[in-house]
Amino acid sequence: MAMQNYGNGYVLGRQPFVELWSLLGLVAVVCEGPEDFPGCFQKLQGEEVAFVLVESDWAESIPEFYKRKAKISDPVWVEMPSLKGSLKGRE
């Protein structure tokens, strides 16, 4: 029986978060702020995406229109805890 390919896992957000998760093989898409999000969202629409991993603090800044659009369409968007607390001592 052949396995079906559901696409790749993507990680979307600020540079440190994206770099960390891309080490596990996720496809990295750096999107520093809400002004960059429409372009990043459009890029994902043209790819075979199984899921999108995002940082919870960063996800709060996504424009409301795109939040609603992401909820009603594929792929699944997964929010992970923010790295802000972990990086405070290193800034």
Average pLDDT on 9-23 reads 95
pLDDT level of residue 82 (50, 70, 90 thresholds): confident
Judged by DSSP in three states, 1 sits in coil
Strand partners, 50: none
Rg (CA), the chain: 14
Report all structural domains of the chain as residue ranges with CATH numbers, in order of start. Answer: 8-84 (3.40.50)
89 vs 67 pLDDT, higher one? 67
pLDDT level of residue 72 (50, 70, 90 thresholds): confident
pTM higher than the cut 0.85? no
Quote the CA–CA distance of 18 and 54 in Å, as a whole number: 8
Quote the CA–CA distance of 20 and 78 in Å, as a whole number: 16
| CB-side neighbour CA atoms (13 Å) of 25 | 3
